[in-house]
Structure 1
Amino acid sequence: MKKTSILAATLSPLLLASSCGSTGSGDSPPTQASPSGETGGAWDGGFVTTEHGSFAEPWAAAFVPGTAMLFVTEKAGTAKIVDTANDRVIPVTGLPEVDYGGQGGLGDVAFLPSQSASTIGRRAIYLSWAEAGEGDTRGAAVGRGELVCAASDSCRIDGLEVIWRQTPKVSGRGHYSHRLVLSPDEQHLFVASGERQKQTPAQDKQSHLGKIVRLTLDGSPAGDGAIGGALPDIWSMGHRNILGIDFDAQGQLWEVEHGPKGGDELNLVRRGQNYGWPVRSNGVNYDGSDIPDHSADDGFAKPAVSWTPVIAPGNMIFYTGDLFDGLAGDLLIAGLKTEAIVRVATDGDTARETARYDMDNRIRQIVEGPDGALWVLEDGDGGRLLELRP
């Protein structure tokens, strides 16, 4: 382990330029964030940062419930478990075949918090990935299996089977989204389904593209007729590229998504709501053509926060611990373009950015550890795993 310098907090007036384009990998190339000013909350905003190794294009991470073991996915199709107590790295087998390229590859990972034990043992695991289709097509997939760690030096996933597929499969390698979150009562799995850079399907009720879907734990549709005439698993629609999704302490579901050139959005997700893409956006198209901004009378759900210039989110979590005094209940967003952690305070159905913490690198993922420490994955090949403490 290697300790690095304290990182100071910065307030948020200086936001930076565009997030993901209409072609290519979709996440903007590195730029340096611009620090300024004060901090928010009782905690003073500084981090003591400890390095815990590096990974090949890490994309997501989750602690195995009840343990100090962090499961890390790598985009090209590999995964590792890090024993954060001693930095021992355990390879994982039994992973799916992924369609790697652009934004595609192995995606998110989720566990049932109730399956907590003092050892890893055997428990359910959910994974998402990009899956090839016929011809030059592909789409997101979600699978469920069992994580088994019978030996100290290896783990495997048994019985992994696809429980949901994004339909239709289309050309291109962008905007899969495929972020996963389990409802607080562990009765439902919510899947972020990006619009695959195709725009108009986000308004098509018979397409998964540009939607949030709700499933039972076995993958059965559970949209419960949220949108009349829509596929039975669709919960909300009119989304672009959702890269963060989580529940707050009140059980409300929030998501953060990439806008086009401007207009990144934080949304409170309500059953059956339409969030407007591509009919409405507070950004513009990459060719400079106009997209009407959200307005009070447009009939669409409005973002709680909109960013222009963008933050280019990697993921987001609501912090629940007490290690960082005053942070509990706030939302933390991994910033790719901003190379920062963006802090947002929510109050009911409203939200506002309160601080920005400069990380000097593109941040793909934030995870809260068992004792309240923050674990951060940098983006790209050689992305470091960092442990952040006050």
Structure 2
Amino acid sequence: MIRRLALVALLASPACSAQPQAQSQPANGDAAASGQAFVPPQPASASKPVPKNAPQDASIKNVPATAGKANLPATAQPFTIQKIGQFEEPFGMEFLPGGGLLVTEKAGALKLRHADGSVVTVSGVPKVEPGGQGGLLDVAIAPDFADSKYVYLTYSEPGEKGSALALARGTLATPNPARAALQNVSVLWRSGSNGPGGQFGARVAFSPDGQYLFLSSGERQRFSPAQDPEQLLGKILRLTLDGKAAPGNPMYAEGGVRAMTWSTGHRNPYGLAFAPDGRLWETEMGPRGGDELNLIEAGKNYGWPVVSNGDNYSGQPIPDHPSKPEFEAPKLWWNPSISPGGMIIYTGDLFPQYKGSAFLAALSGQALIRVELNGATARPAEQWDMGARIRDVIQAPDGAIWLLQDDGALDRLTPKG
């Protein structure tokens, strides 16, 4: 993504249809032989109503979190805001070479905003299951888009047993400014565990070398799947560009779901971005409080729902992260909630003082939040009151910062003065 602008300089460096029945798959989850995306077995519990509270473990003694709280008072905005567009319940956006912008609308429409501001609907989008937190979600272009024209979409896919997160890919055709279509669309990956619940996660980020696709998969408000190694829910996945398990993953040799898993113990990961140094950062919605900024590392378990620096919506407590130090704790956390949405790590020249900083969209916080990153450490820097729920943030080719509001407004931020 041009969230991926942060990655371009690193490319040479290290670093549809109804849900099918699960088929017998090769050990590493590569379903190429069957011509289908790998789908894990359907758990019996997946179609049950979502539980009210996280499972309790009476043996855990709560140790309160005392470090890393990141809530800040609002400060004066250093930018000018220009409204440049309007969409219907948008979720994600992605710049194209030449300045065009793809925007997803949760009801199922993909829009192409040309550089001159005109907007067309892209045909050929897979059928989605809209409603609640589901629908058409993230959009990303392939690292080799200039040649392949590949566009990736994540969405809640309808199925006989309920919806599930899916990842599809098609080629973008734009024969003239008034027409655009996705062609040869195929589903590359499905989470399985079809059933009720929101919190799909669904963010896509590409590795700095352009060889792998990282996908965030939420736990669908079901709690326990985040700790179940046989479910693709509540995980960060590392996949090939074709949606298969990526060689080198921590449990690749074990096959199936485990082969795809990069990290586990996540709730609702709504932001995913690589820093210029190759580190992968993630923002995650907690329950009532406990929103997180995490440094994502291979094989780590981030603790949900066993620990959290927030509580259940009912008020029932959840032990704080220090209660179980074997789990990876967030670098920063927010309580009260800010409800983080999308995230970028800024690399542009228009705001040179912010190079290397993370920018977090905040929904319930109605804010844009800047976090200073320094290697593996993070420090809350500024929080700007935007007066609206901010769904996504992206860096434009000229270094401006563009925001998508939950009410559909598209804003362009440039320096004051």
* 1:164 maps to 2:198: no
Aligned residue for 1:341, secondary structure, equals strand
Distance 1:36 1:218, change over 3 A: closer
Q: Deviations over 1:193-242 (max 9, x none)?
A: 00000001100000011001111001111163414855211110000000
In structure 1, the partner of 2:206 is 182
Matched ranges for 1:233-248 at <5 A = 233-248=260-275
Cα offset, 1:116, TM superposition: 3.9
Q: Deviations over 1:47-88 (max 9, x none)?
A: 122211211101100001x2110001100000111123x211
Q: Deviations over 1:9-63 (max 9, x none)?
A: xxxxxxxxxxxx988xxxxxxxxx996446xxxxxx5212221121110110000
Matched residues, percent identical?
A: 44
In structure 2, the partner of 1:123 is 149
In structure 2, the partner of 1:67 is 98
Aligned residue for 1:202, secondary structure, equals helix
Query: What is the RMSD of the two structures over their aligned residues, measured on CA atoms?
Result: 2.0
**Contact 1:22/1:286 (<8 A) preserved:** no
* 1:134 maps to 2:160: yes
In structure 1, the partner of 2:15 is none
**Contact 1:62/1:70 (<8 A) preserved:** yes
In structure 1, the partner of 2:80 is 48
In structure 2, the partner of 1:366 is 393
Cα offset, 1:112, TM superposition: 2.5
Higher mean alpha-carbon deviation, 143-152 vs 224-233, is at: 224-233
Cα offset, 1:184, TM superposition: 1.2
Higher mean alpha-carbon deviation, 361-370 vs 224-233, is at: 224-233
Matched ranges for 1:64-213 at <5 A = 64=96, 66-84=97-115, 86-116=116-146, 123-135=149-161, 137-172=162-197, 174-213=198-237
Distance 1:310 1:326, change over 3 A: same
Aligned residue for 1:389, secondary structure, equals strand
Aligned residue for 2:149, secondary structure, equals strand
Distance 1:22 1:307, change over 3 A: farther
Q: CA–CA distance in 1 between the matches of 2:120 and 2:321?
A: 47
In structure 1, the partner of 2:327 is 300
In structure 2, the partner of 1:343 is 370
Q: Deviations over 1:292-330 (max 9, x none)?
A: 111175310110001111110111000110101211100
**Contact 1:223/1:234 (<8 A) preserved:** no
Distance 1:91 1:297, change over 3 A: closer
Q: CA–CA distance in 2 between the matches of 1:113 and 1:272?
A: 25
Aligned residue for 2:165, secondary structure, equals strand
For these two proteins, the number of residue pairs brought into alignment is 345
Which of 274, 278, 292 matches 1:265? 292
In structure 1, the partner of 2:246 is 222
Higher mean alpha-carbon deviation, 287-296 vs 186-195, is at: 287-296
Aligned residue for 2:258, secondary structure, equals coil
In structure 2, the partner of 1:42 is none
**Contact 2:74/2:384 (<8 A) preserved:** no
Q: CA–CA distance in 2 between the matches of 1:227 and 1:126?
A: 25
**Contact 1:224/1:233 (<8 A) preserved:** no
In structure 1, the partner of 2:410 is 385
In structure 2, the partner of 1:309 is 336
Q: CA–CA distance in 1 between the matches of 2:311 and 2:74?
A: 27
Which amino acid in 2 is paired with 1:253? L
Which amino acid in 2 is paired with 1:132? P
Which amino acid in 2 is paired with 1:80? K
Which amino acid in 1 is paired with 2:359? L
Structure 1 gaps of 5+ residues are 1-20, 24-32, 39-44
Aligned residue for 1:295, secondary structure, equals helix
Which of 241, 259, 273 matches 1:232? 259
Q: CA–CA distance in 1 between the matches of 2:285 and 2:72?
A: 20
Q: CA–CA distance in 2 between the matches of 1:331 and 1:37?
A: 17
Distance 1:34 1:148, change over 3 A: same
Which amino acid in 2 is paired with 1:46? P
**Contact 2:249/2:298 (<8 A) preserved:** no
Which amino acid in 1 is paired with 2:271? G
Q: CA–CA distance in 2 between the matches of 1:318 and 1:128?
A: 21
Whichever structure has more helix as a proportion of its residues is 2
Q: CA–CA distance in 2 between the matches of 1:36 and 1:110?
A: 31
Q: CA–CA distance in 2 between the matches of 1:348 and 1:310?
A: 25
Q: Deviations over 1:355-385 (max 9, x none)?
A: 01221110001110011011111103xx111
Q: CA–CA distance in 2 between the matches of 1:354 and 1:37?
A: 10
**Contact 2:223/2:305 (<8 A) preserved:** yes
**Contact 1:265/1:305 (<8 A) preserved:** yes
Q: CA–CA distance in 1 between the matches of 2:396 and 2:239?
A: 27
